[in-house]
């Protein structure tokens, strides 16, 4: 359903992605791993149109995404849980969730999101700026689900969270996977990522350097040491 082919992305003059190709099948969960600065977030920003590619192609079902404005890309069914969460602080929790709601029969509704995140129901009238990091991450995931995406892109959902909260986020991701939602998960937290995905890509210096199942990745000492270890 998603196919990146030879994507080259620049920030101004600096060349960040060097011929990235990756694919994702319907219902699949794919991890995107690598050290800080490897280009993982840039892949996400490129797909959603925040930083469009200079060349290469991004196919999503029958559509070419390269060059489309990001609101059109989102409307095609790509939900984003961005790095740093980027929740709107002056909106209430409920407003954050309903802002981008796109109803769809049998899809995500405010009620269903709040069933998944009971804490958000308690805090729905509170300004989002007053929430804790874990709660903000729940809003970020809930907000993306409310657009009823066919594909969810999650950029470091565990970033900056306490281990207990990370486990909670991991449980939520597992539920999404059980519901057969397709997603790309960018993570620094290797165990969270490998527990959650069917297949993983490892990036280094703006290029894909490994592709395989979590089992294959765990078995490959060299990749592990060279591109993931600290």
| Chain residues that interact with another protein, rule: CB under 8 A | 48-50, 69-71, 74-75, 80, 82, 86, 88-91, 95-96, 98-100, 102, 143-144, 147
Query: Smallest gap, in angstroms, from Cβ of residue 78 to another protein?
Result: 9
Residue number with CB closer to another protein (71 or 174): 71
DSSP H or E segment with residue 114: helix 110-116
Query: Smallest gap, in angstroms, from Cβ of residue 84 to another protein?
Result: 10
Query: Smallest gap, in angstroms, from Cβ of residue 160 to another protein?
Result: 18
Residue number with CB closer to another protein (150 or 224): 150
Residue number with CB closer to another protein (90 or 179): 90
Query: Smallest gap, in angstroms, from Cβ of residue 198 to another protein?
Result: 25
Cα atoms in the Cβ-side hemisphere of radius 13 Å centred on 34:
23
Residues 20-58 as b/e (b if ≥16 CB within 10 A, e otherwise) read bebebeeebbbbbbbbeebbbbbbbbbbbbebbbeebeb
Please answer whether residues 63 and 220 qualify as being in contact, where contact means their C-beta atoms are separated by less than 8 angstroms.
no
The closest of 29, 179, 20, 211 to 113, measured between CA atoms, is 179
β-pair type (199-204, 29-33): parallel
State the Cα–Cα distance between residues 196 and 36, nearest whole angstrom. Answer: 20
Residue number with CB closer to another protein (39 or 82): 82
Residue number with CB closer to another protein (149 or 206): 149
Query: Smallest gap, in angstroms, from Cβ of residue 120 to another protein?
Result: 16
DSSP structure class, residue 226? I
């Amino acid at each position: 359903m998603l196919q990146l082919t030879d994507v080259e992305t620049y920030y101004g003059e600096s060349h960040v992605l060097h011929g990235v190709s990756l694919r994702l099948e319907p219902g699949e969960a794919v991890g995107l791993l690598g050290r800080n600065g490897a280009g993982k977030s840039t892949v996400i920003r490129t797909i959603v149109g925040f930083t469009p590619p200079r060349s290469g192609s991004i196919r999503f079902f029958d559509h070419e995404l390269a060059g489309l404005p990001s609101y059109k890309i989102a409307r095609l069914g790509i939900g984003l849980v961005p790095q740093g969460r980027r929740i709107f602080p002056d909106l209430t929790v409920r407003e954050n969730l309903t802002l981008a709601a796109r109803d769809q029969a049998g899809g995500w509704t405010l009620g269903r999101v709040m069933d998944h995140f009971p804490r958000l129901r308690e805090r729905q009238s509170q300004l989002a700026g007053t929430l804790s990091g874990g709660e903000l991450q729940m809003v970020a995931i809930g907000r993306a689900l409310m657009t009823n995406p066919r594909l969810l892109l999650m950029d470091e959902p565990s970033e900056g969270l306490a281990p207990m909260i990370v486990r909670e986020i991991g449980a939520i991701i597992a539920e999404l996977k059980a519901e057969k939602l397709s997603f790309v998960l960018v993570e620094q937290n290797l165990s969270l990522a490998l527990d959650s995905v069917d297949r993983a890509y490892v990036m280094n210096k703006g290029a894909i350097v490994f592709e395989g199942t979590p089992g294959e990745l765990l078995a490959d000492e060299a990749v592990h040491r060279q591109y993931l270890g600290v």
